[in-house]
Amino acid sequence: MTRTTIRPLANPPKNQGDAREWAYALTFGINRTRHDSGDYRTAADIETAGRRISVKSGAFSLMSPKQCEGETTMEGIWSVYERTTCATEHAYITDDYQVFTMNKAEFKEFIFTFASVQRESTAHKGGLKIKAGHETKKRLAWLMAHCEG
């Protein structure tokens, strides 16, 4: 796992996840102006120079319940994600814009440490998905302890 720091955008979107993703995309020369809601199975959040990076921040969901193929456990949902994601790298961006870039094995350990199976609201049909809570000091300490340098 590697760590870098990026700069926040001068005029970020209101959604904090988008703000972090767009700031990271800009480091690759990609200028975002609208939310990208592409399917994780066919497009990564950032695709550049042969890299396909899935970006997560804060209280994120791994994927939508409708994409979990009926699985209801961490292992089952992760298995679907691992088999179907097109991302080859995973980046978690902290509240203070530190980027921790992970391979799939590191990302799996991160997910199993800080996320759990949760039910969506009934307004969103109440399906099960893997979701992480808000960023904590424990999460930040874990990331720092697992990165190079």
Q: Which residues of the chain fall below pLDDT 70? A: 124, 149
* pLDDT tens column, 69-78: 999 999 999 9
**Sign for the pseudo-dihedral over CA of 94, 99, 131, 29:** positive
What is the per-residue pLDDT for 149? 58
**Domains of the chain: which residue ranges?**
2-146
* CA atoms within 13 Å, Cβ hemisphere of 29: 2
